[in-house]
Amino acid sequence: MALDPLFGLHSAALAVQKQRMDVLAGNIANSDTPNFKARDIDFAATLRAQLGGGAQGNEALLKTQSTHLDAQSGADSLAGLVWRVPVQGSVDGNTVDTQIEQSRFADAALHYQASLNFIDGRVKGMLTAITGQ
Protein backbone atom coordinates (compact mmCIF):
# COMPACT_ATOMS: atom_id res chain seq x y z
CA MET A 1 0.00 0.00 0.00
CA ALA A 2 1.52 3.29 -1.04
CA LEU A 3 0.88 6.61 0.66
CA ASP A 4 -2.69 7.68 -0.03
CA PRO A 5 -2.77 11.00 -1.97
CA LEU A 6 -5.77 12.31 -0.04
CA PHE A 7 -5.45 10.92 3.46
CA GLY A 8 -1.67 10.48 3.75
CA LEU A 9 -0.67 7.74 6.15
CA HIS A 10 -3.83 8.07 8.21
CA SER A 11 -5.75 5.37 6.34
CA ALA A 12 -2.87 2.93 6.96
CA ALA A 13 -2.51 4.13 10.56
CA LEU A 14 -6.23 3.53 11.10
CA ALA A 15 -5.90 -0.07 9.89
CA VAL A 16 -2.87 -0.73 12.11
CA GLN A 17 -4.54 0.78 15.19
CA LYS A 18 -7.58 -1.40 14.52
CA GLN A 19 -5.38 -4.52 14.33
CA ARG A 20 -3.69 -3.38 17.52
CA MET A 21 -7.06 -3.03 19.28
CA ASP A 22 -7.97 -6.56 18.11
CA VAL A 23 -4.76 -7.94 19.64
CA LEU A 24 -5.27 -6.03 22.90
CA ALA A 25 -8.91 -7.13 23.10
CA GLY A 26 -7.69 -10.72 22.66
CA ASN A 27 -5.29 -10.20 25.58
CA ILE A 28 -8.02 -8.86 27.86
CA ALA A 29 -10.42 -11.62 26.78
CA ASN A 30 -7.78 -14.16 27.82
CA SER A 31 -6.85 -12.46 31.10
CA ASP A 32 -7.95 -15.62 32.97
CA THR A 33 -6.77 -18.27 30.49
CA PRO A 34 -3.92 -20.41 31.87
CA ASN A 35 -0.64 -20.25 29.89
CA PHE A 36 -1.86 -17.47 27.63
CA LYS A 37 0.94 -15.09 26.60
CA ALA A 38 -0.01 -11.47 26.01
CA ARG A 39 1.01 -9.83 22.73
CA ASP A 40 1.08 -6.38 21.23
CA ILE A 41 1.78 -4.79 17.87
CA ASP A 42 4.92 -2.78 17.21
CA PHE A 43 3.06 0.12 15.65
CA ALA A 44 6.00 1.74 13.85
CA ALA A 45 7.22 -1.52 12.27
CA THR A 46 3.73 -2.57 11.16
CA LEU A 47 2.92 0.83 9.69
CA ARG A 48 6.24 0.83 7.84
CA ALA A 49 5.49 -2.66 6.51
CA GLN A 50 2.01 -1.57 5.40
CA LEU A 51 3.40 1.43 3.58
CA GLY A 52 5.83 -0.91 1.87
CA GLY A 53 9.19 0.38 3.03
CA GLY A 54 11.79 0.06 5.76
CA ALA A 55 13.95 -2.75 7.03
CA GLN A 56 11.15 -4.84 8.59
CA GLY A 57 8.83 -4.23 5.66
CA ASN A 58 8.24 -6.38 2.62
CA GLU A 59 11.47 -5.68 0.85
CA ALA A 60 11.62 -7.04 -2.67
CA LEU A 61 13.68 -10.21 -2.99
CA LEU A 62 16.53 -10.15 -5.46
CA LYS A 63 15.42 -12.49 -8.25
CA THR A 64 17.95 -14.03 -10.64
CA GLN A 65 15.36 -16.12 -12.48
CA SER A 66 11.85 -15.32 -13.58
CA THR A 67 10.53 -18.47 -11.87
CA HIS A 68 11.61 -17.34 -8.38
CA LEU A 69 8.77 -16.67 -5.99
CA ASP A 70 8.01 -13.25 -4.54
CA ALA A 71 8.52 -12.82 -0.83
CA GLN A 72 5.32 -10.94 -0.15
CA SER A 73 3.96 -10.18 3.23
CA GLY A 74 0.45 -9.12 2.45
CA ALA A 75 -1.13 -6.02 3.89
CA ASP A 76 -3.03 -8.27 6.30
CA SER A 77 0.01 -9.90 7.87
CA LEU A 78 1.03 -8.71 11.30
CA ALA A 79 4.70 -7.93 10.79
CA GLY A 80 5.21 -6.24 14.15
CA LEU A 81 3.52 -8.72 16.49
CA VAL A 82 5.61 -8.89 19.66
CA TRP A 83 5.29 -10.61 23.02
CA ARG A 84 4.60 -8.56 26.12
CA VAL A 85 7.34 -8.83 28.78
CA PRO A 86 5.48 -9.56 32.04
CA VAL A 87 6.03 -7.17 34.94
CA GLN A 88 4.86 -9.73 37.45
CA GLY A 89 4.49 -13.33 36.34
CA SER A 90 1.55 -15.38 37.58
CA VAL A 91 1.44 -18.99 38.77
CA ASP A 92 -0.72 -20.23 35.88
CA GLY A 93 1.71 -18.99 33.20
CA ASN A 94 -0.57 -16.16 32.07
CA THR A 95 1.26 -12.92 31.22
CA VAL A 96 -1.77 -10.64 30.81
CA ASP A 97 -1.73 -7.60 33.10
CA THR A 98 -5.24 -6.16 32.69
CA GLN A 99 -4.18 -2.66 33.75
CA ILE A 100 -1.38 -2.49 31.17
CA GLU A 101 -3.63 -3.90 28.44
CA GLN A 102 -6.40 -1.43 29.26
CA SER A 103 -4.04 1.54 29.16
CA ARG A 104 -2.60 0.38 25.83
CA PHE A 105 -6.12 -0.12 24.51
CA ALA A 106 -7.05 3.43 25.55
CA ASP A 107 -3.89 4.64 23.81
CA ALA A 108 -4.77 2.76 20.61
CA ALA A 109 -8.37 4.04 20.73
CA LEU A 110 -7.16 7.62 21.15
CA HIS A 111 -4.79 7.34 18.21
CA TYR A 112 -7.56 5.76 16.15
CA GLN A 113 -9.78 8.77 16.94
CA ALA A 114 -6.97 11.16 16.07
CA SER A 115 -6.53 9.53 12.65
CA LEU A 116 -10.30 9.60 12.19
CA ASN A 117 -10.34 13.34 12.92
CA PHE A 118 -7.64 13.99 10.33
CA ILE A 119 -9.49 11.93 7.72
CA ASP A 120 -12.76 13.65 8.63
CA GLY A 121 -11.12 17.04 8.19
CA ARG A 122 -9.78 16.07 4.77
CA VAL A 123 -13.19 14.76 3.66
CA LYS A 124 -14.95 17.93 4.85
CA GLY A 125 -12.33 20.14 3.20
CA MET A 126 -12.77 18.24 -0.07
CA LEU A 127 -16.54 18.53 0.16
CA THR A 128 -16.22 22.29 0.64
CA ALA A 129 -13.91 22.46 -2.37
CA ILE A 130 -16.30 20.40 -4.50
CA THR A 131 -19.49 22.26 -3.59
CA GLY A 132 -17.73 25.63 -3.55
CA GLN A 133 -19.96 27.04 -0.86
Partner 1 sequence: MSSFRIFDITGSALSAQSVRLNTVASNLANADSVAGDPSQVYRAHMPVFKAAAELGGENTPGVRVTDVVQSQAEPDKRYEPGHPLADADGYVYAPKVNVVEQMVDMISASRAYQSNVELMNTAKDLALRTLSLGR
Binding residues (CB under 8 A) for partner 1: these are: 14, 19, 21-23, 25-26, 28-34, 36, 39, 78, 81, 98, 102, 105-106, 109, 112-113, 116, 119-120, 123-124, 127
Question: 9 or 116, CB closer to partner 1?
Answer: 116
What values do phi and psi take at 106, rounded to 5?
-60, -40
C-alpha closest to that of 28 among 39, 16, 18: 39
Q: Which is nearer to partner 1, 40 or 58 (CB)?
A: 40
- Is 33 or 72 the residue whose CB approaches partner 1 more closely? 33
126/113 Cα distance (integer angstroms) = 20
Q: What is the DSSP code (8-state) at residue 21?
A: H
